[in-house]
Amino acid sequence: MTSAPLALIIFAAGAVAGSLGALLGLGGGVFLVPFLNLGLGFPFGVAAAISLTTVIATSSSVSAARAGKQLINMKLGMLLEVATAGGSLLGGVTAQLVAQSTLQRLFGVLSALVAVIMLSRLRRRNVILDPTVDPGVLGGRYHEAESGGVVTYRVKRLPVAIGASFLAGSVSSLLGIGGGFIKVPVLNAWCGIPLRAAAATSAFMIGVTATAGAVIYYGHGQLVPALAAAAILGVQLGSWGGMRFGAAASVKWLKVLMAVVLFVISVMMLARGIR
């Protein structure tokens, strides 16, 4: 049975990951997997499985709180979910057949790559300021509290969004993360979607994405319910706190913080995977 101290450590780690995740528009898995795998020494598959369940919980509670505020682009989300769930299925099966060190190296490479993308596009906003612009079937508009204005956007380069979503879905199940750290920069940088809408839509999608993967880990017996429970409850608490603070934080500051954290994770994962 699970010892009380271990459950409390995982609960606390979940709370930290959840609050960071909510602040950055991620599921929090990108922090939790390295902590469980490198910090506490769980096998990568067990860490990934726990993390995927916290991604589902965060996605569900965050999206429930945001529903009705138009920040989530549901139509775009449902369309891209076809790609993320398909990728997730592929990644979930592949994860059962690949060595742990391979997954660690992949984790390291991808997190560094995304950190570079984030830093290189720090000042882009991708906003159509005229509120009368027709956003089209897949575009959207929402009220932004910071500027007090209505933000309207159209979706550009849909095939790029679909490709990135498939990749994000595969990586999600392989590595136990939400995949937001691939989708959000791509949707923001290349597809014309404002960061907040991209993050909210990604957070909405990753629940379904992570489920396709988590179910496979559960079937394989790698999902330990007691450990997952401690992590989920911690992440729920943390993301609740992060959400309250997140609306007031600046987008640029968030991007820089995200990039720094990803670099650190990258180095640690590569060091372990190559050894």
Partner 1 sequence: MSGTLDRGAALPGAQGGDPQPLEVVVGLVLRAGVTLSSACLAVGVVLSMFGASAAAADILLHVGVIVLLATPVARVVASIVQYVGGRDWPFAALTAIVLLELMASVVAALVFNKRL
**Interacting residues with partner 1 (CB under 8 A):** 1-4, 7, 53, 56-57, 59-61, 63-70, 72, 74-75, 78-79, 81-82, 85-86, 88-89, 92-93, 96, 131, 134-135, 137, 140-141, 150, 207-208, 210-216, 218-221, 223, 225-226, 228-230, 232-233, 236
Closest CB to partner 1 among 7 and 189?
Answer: 7
Closer CB to partner 1, 23 or 208, in the complex: 208
Distance, CA of 175 to CA of 33 (rounded, Å): 8
Least Å from the CB of residue 133 to partner 1? 9
User: How many angstroms separate the CA atoms of 166 and 125, rounded?
Assistant: 24
Output the CA torsion sign for 35, 39, 41, 44: positive
3-state secondary structure of 140: strand
Assess contact for 29 and 178: CB atoms under 8 A. Answer: yes
CB of 69 to partner 1, least distance (A): 8
Minimum CB separation of residue 84 from partner 1 in Å reads 9
Query: Token pair 């640029």 is at which residue?
Result: 252
Least distance to partner 1, CB of residue 75, Å: 6
Residue 106 CB, shortest distance to partner 1, in Å, is 20
Closest CB to partner 1 among residues 72, 262 = 72
Q: How far apart are CA 43 and CA 112, in angstroms?
A: 22
Residue closer to partner 1 (CB basis): 118 or 197: 197
Two tokens at 202? Answer: 């990604």
- Between residues 95 and 270, which has the closer beta carbon with respect to partner 1? 95
Find, among 28, 12, 30, 10, the residue nearest to 20 by Cα.
28
How far apart, in whole angstroms, are the C-alpha atoms of residue 47 and residue 36?
Answer: 5
